[in-house]
Structure 1
């Protein structure tokens, strides 16, 4: 009887990531596994049983410092995917990376891999997918199947296909499976935890577009609408964001006890653009006209109905102003307002059946409660807002949520709201046993910004899953220059074809900086001595309790 109990305990421990392969306090020391078949032979593997659909494959070896077997495939009808399997030294791990925006491109992006040896030494299997269509536009939305593929099927079936290839190539399943994505990749990450909790042991969801339908209709539509004048030209321009950012820092930078060019927690910050109204002629970068001040006020306010009801979880945060450039603030009056394009693609191609007979623009789109209700079927398909993660928790899953306070695309209040709603659903104690959330001051969308934005995300996730070492703090770094700006939804860099010329202006040089970023709700505070750009000069402080569940039209859904 005792022997059977010991065996049962061991099996449960292995299943939950605490078995003999795991080591306390760090990434497990897993024995490398060699392939049991030739790379080219993978092209003839039948994965239809694993994916539930016809799956075509091609395989070839890629040479170099870290050689791997590259398998590309198509899961019917049109889900393209790629898997990279190390030809030597595979350490029994699988990492799938997310795709941003409306996807439509196949790119493996294992970002935030600082100190993560399995990724940096090429000993992990990598994969990603285009989610069932090509191109960043939304024309594919006329297909019901492709809508489902984008919503959740493409990522899930890619995980099943990759695991099938791993079993065939190495003769065993991966010991640990991970997913990491930012922006829509963050939505994909949460969708996996919600719909397919058995797919991954550890998930990192950055700046998740979890409220997808609201994000790509009311949020971006509002930003485009309020920054477009009656003449069709942009009101706020790139130079104006400098004046607004200076105002935000003057108003709120020192609220944490240290004026250091970044706002630790901007939720308590209030910026009044009317304070920098021009007293004479307009001076770009120094003051605002009444029209510019009103546009800024409405941006800080966020999308609302005519009678004042909030149509989104929360607006963009003070301190994000210079990140607005290239999203909904162009450099010239005739420049492109990206948010109009983002909203138009989704509203006119993805949200309704049939699509609107007359395409909406931000100026004609109804910012009403009725329109919010009309989007409900699309929300049920695309949005990853279900707080019930009990199945993911029960299988031993671990989730890291992360977001930049200066994100110009997706308000970090969405992520806080989701974290709080999970706590309300499961209980805070249960939530805190398998979820950590990190909020990065001054960081833009997935990267860049004035604050430190590089940190050991994947290393900490693996250490938590494999060694039980729950991350309490991450040391974030800022290089000698801020990010150049990242197009919507693309984590880690620009679109493959590159952004429009001049869309993202050169950024000012900033000195290197390191800061600890503590698991929410703790924040880093200056000790009172030492260099302000050195993480060692800061300590953790518990913030006052904040009810992060938002009061908006979608609350209580």
Structure 2
């Protein structure tokens, strides 16, 4: 059951004006609205009686409501069920709510509730407990192997769970505080980014501001042909891994040596991978070499070539993905499609098989299907089209979202191994093609982060605060431009896929901790694409103050492929 959500007119609020500062030091000149905290009007326990059947149908209910703390903030923690199997959790501050709602997405194929807001580093409203926060498991348990065979659970995962969770939490907010929220936001990365875009496309009235990081929006291709190819390319005839993680530093150093200086600064990061020209043959071991620790064997180099290029139809030569991992991403391949040992398991295989067996095709392939059965052909790409309007979130018709005043921030790490940054740039360009560049400039921004991995981490400065930037845009009318990023002191699990079935969201498929950066700590400005940060030529390259706005630059290479039409307007379906 899908219901509409009433839209409450936002009235003007006093803004805290900030004196102009150098662009290197401040991302916005106006911040979020100065909203007073609102106290609850009923007890936390009383929320147990909220009726959710009008939202989720018979069997929907609040299952628990209790007072606790979250990161030191007193909250009322509410858990609920939206029939038949959508579980959600909401944290409603009891002392600090400033009339804002933040819903967060989840990664991988979800199946668990994770209340984390990434790309929010330093956001005071978040750390001070100003948001009601909520998340959902998307309508299934991560330990279920065959949930994709259930039509209702497919629909819940595709779009229904996030929409109904928003409706249910709004009902809780209204009951608990005696009023609705003034502003609402959605923040997700990876599949959470797909969920974010699905909200903008299918339910434009749900949220005022949406942040979509590394969105798995081209779900049908990303989780089949992309990850399937990466896994097959790095597996020999005996099922052993060919390129192992000990060789990745060798490859990465060679790529950086060839392309680092192209952006005007030798800082260990490749800011414009589209301009990089790297010859793998330069690091191939000599045939007679006894020690291959500082070079790649021909077989290892061939794996890397396949990673960069991607699958092609052997008959037509057509590419079968929008893009592949970029130059500079090599260290991030570890634990995804490169294992630590020859007998290691590849996360890409774990990502692709469940989708191929139960989700991607109208006729399920079944448990006997293996990656050896996956044909990398245009025929397979076409066979993925029937469920494109269900699972994919590449619909370029955001006219309703734009017309109601919604704001969208897209962001993607250029060293992302899980999801090709080309997908996100292709979507941005599809928006411009369908709506016009001027219209898109009024409601959307795209940030591409050098050296940053999947939803964070990596060699580059991965800490950033897009949530405050979004609030300044929605509440204060200050469209974001420069965003200051800085090196992370701790690894982030925001948007990380859950492949261990334990309700956790481990990095790199759950088989190893995130890798720490080998570069010096740094700060760096990033600008909306196609602008790039340009080194001024003086001062320490690790300091943001020594960089300025430059460009435009391509940054991410785009190519013609027979699935390019998947990025454009289309009519969504329910199955």
TM-score interval (norm. to shorter): over 0.9
Q: Which moved more, 1:412-421 or 1:544-553?
A: 544-553
| C-alpha distance in 2 between matches for 1:337 and 1:62 | 39
Match of 1:464 among 473, 478, 481: 473
What is the CA distance between 1:53 and its match in structure 2? 5.0
Report the counterpart of residue 13 of structure 2 in structure 1. 20
Do the aligned partners of residues 155 and 335 (structure 1) sit closer, same or farther apart at CA in structure 2, a change above 3 Å counting?
A: same
| C-alpha distance in 1 between matches for 2:11 and 2:530 | 27
Contact 2:460/2:487 (8 A) holds in 1? yes
Alignment of 1:306-325 (within 5 A): 306=314, 307-325=316-334
Report the counterpart of residue 10 of structure 1 in structure 2. none
Match of 2:305 among 297, 300, 319: 297
Contact 2:458/2:517 (8 A) holds in 1? no
Q: Which moved more, 1:361-370 or 1:85-94?
A: 361-370
Alignment of 1:419-438 (within 5 A): 419-438=428-447
Report the counterpart of residue 78 of structure 1 in structure 2. 85
What is the CA distance between 1:213 and its match in structure 2? 0.6
1:41-64 deviations in Å (ceiling 9; x for gaps):
111111222344532112111147
Q: Secondary structure at the match of 2:371?
A: coil
| C-alpha distance in 1 between matches for 2:252 and 2:346 | 19
What is the CA distance between 1:505 and its match in structure 2? 7.2
Report the counterpart of residue 449 of structure 1 in structure 2. 458
1:12-53 deviations in Å (ceiling 9; x for gaps):
x984x5723556721001121111111101111112223445
What is the CA distance between 1:84 and its match in structure 2? 0.6
Q: Secondary structure at the match of 2:165?
A: helix
Q: Which moved more, 1:104-113 or 1:540-549?
A: 540-549
Is residue 2:294 matched to residue 1:286?
Answer: yes
Report the counterpart of residue 198 of structure 2 in structure 1. 191
Q: Which moved more, 1:26-35 or 1:357-366?
A: 357-366
Do the aligned partners of residues 484 and 51 (structure 1) sit closer, same or farther apart at CA in structure 2, a change above 3 Å counting?
A: closer
Report the counterpart of residue 553 of structure 1 in structure 2. 562
Do the aligned partners of residues 498 and 210 (structure 1) sit closer, same or farther apart at CA in structure 2, a change above 3 Å counting?
A: closer
Contact 1:18/1:467 (8 A) holds in 2? no
Alignment of 1:132-211 (within 5 A): 132-135=139-142, 138-211=145-218
Q: TM-score, normalised by structure 2?
A: 0.90
1:142-166 deviations in Å (ceiling 9; x for gaps):
1110000000000110000000100
1:296-323 deviations in Å (ceiling 9; x for gaps):
1111101221132111111110000010
Report the counterpart of residue 88 of structure 1 in structure 2. 95
Do the aligned partners of residues 282 and 238 (structure 1) sit closer, same or farther apart at CA in structure 2, a change above 3 Å counting?
A: farther
Contact 1:484/1:506 (8 A) holds in 2? no
Q: Secondary structure at the match of 2:31?
A: coil
Match of 1:49 among 50, 54, 64: 54
Report the counterpart of residue 403 of structure 2 in structure 1. 394
Report the counterpart of residue 6 of structure 1 in structure 2. none
Contact 1:421/1:549 (8 A) holds in 2? no
Name structure 1 gaps, 5 residues minimum: 1-12
Do the aligned partners of residues 174 and 488 (structure 1) sit closer, same or farther apart at CA in structure 2, a change above 3 Å counting?
A: closer
Q: Which moved more, 1:495-504 or 1:265-274?
A: 495-504
Contact 1:235/1:295 (8 A) holds in 2? yes
Alignment of 1:338-353 (within 5 A): 338-353=347-362
Q: Which moved more, 1:471-480 or 1:517-526?
A: 471-480
Q: TM-score, normalised by structure 1?
A: 0.92
Report the counterpart of residue 530 of structure 1 in structure 2. 539
Match of 1:540 among 549, 552, 567: 549
Do the aligned partners of residues 255 and 33 (structure 1) sit closer, same or farther apart at CA in structure 2, a change above 3 Å counting?
A: same
| C-alpha distance in 2 between matches for 1:136 and 1:265 | 40
Report the counterpart of residue 20 of structure 2 in structure 1. none
Report the counterpart of residue 213 of structure 1 in structure 2. 220
Report the counterpart of residue 120 of structure 1 in structure 2. 127
What is the CA distance between 1:344 and its match in structure 2? 0.4
Do the aligned partners of residues 234 and 68 (structure 1) sit closer, same or farther apart at CA in structure 2, a change above 3 Å counting?
A: same
Q: Secondary structure at the match of 1:72?
A: strand
1:353-384 deviations in Å (ceiling 9; x for gaps):
33114633222201111111111122111000
Do the aligned partners of residues 295 and 161 (structure 1) sit closer, same or farther apart at CA in structure 2, a change above 3 Å counting?
A: same
Q: Secondary structure at the match of 2:395?
A: coil
Contact 1:480/1:511 (8 A) holds in 2? no
Contact 1:113/1:120 (8 A) holds in 2? no
Do the aligned partners of residues 469 and 485 (structure 1) sit closer, same or farther apart at CA in structure 2, a change above 3 Å counting?
A: closer
| C-alpha distance in 2 between matches for 1:183 and 1:459 | 20
Report the counterpart of residue 60 of structure 1 in structure 2. 66
| C-alpha distance in 1 between matches for 2:321 and 2:510 | 32
What is the CA distance between 1:341 and its match in structure 2? 1.2
Do the aligned partners of residues 548 and 233 (structure 1) sit closer, same or farther apart at CA in structure 2, a change above 3 Å counting?
A: closer
Match of 1:380 among 389, 396, 401: 389
Name structure 2 gaps, 5 residues minimum: 1-6, 18-29, 567-575
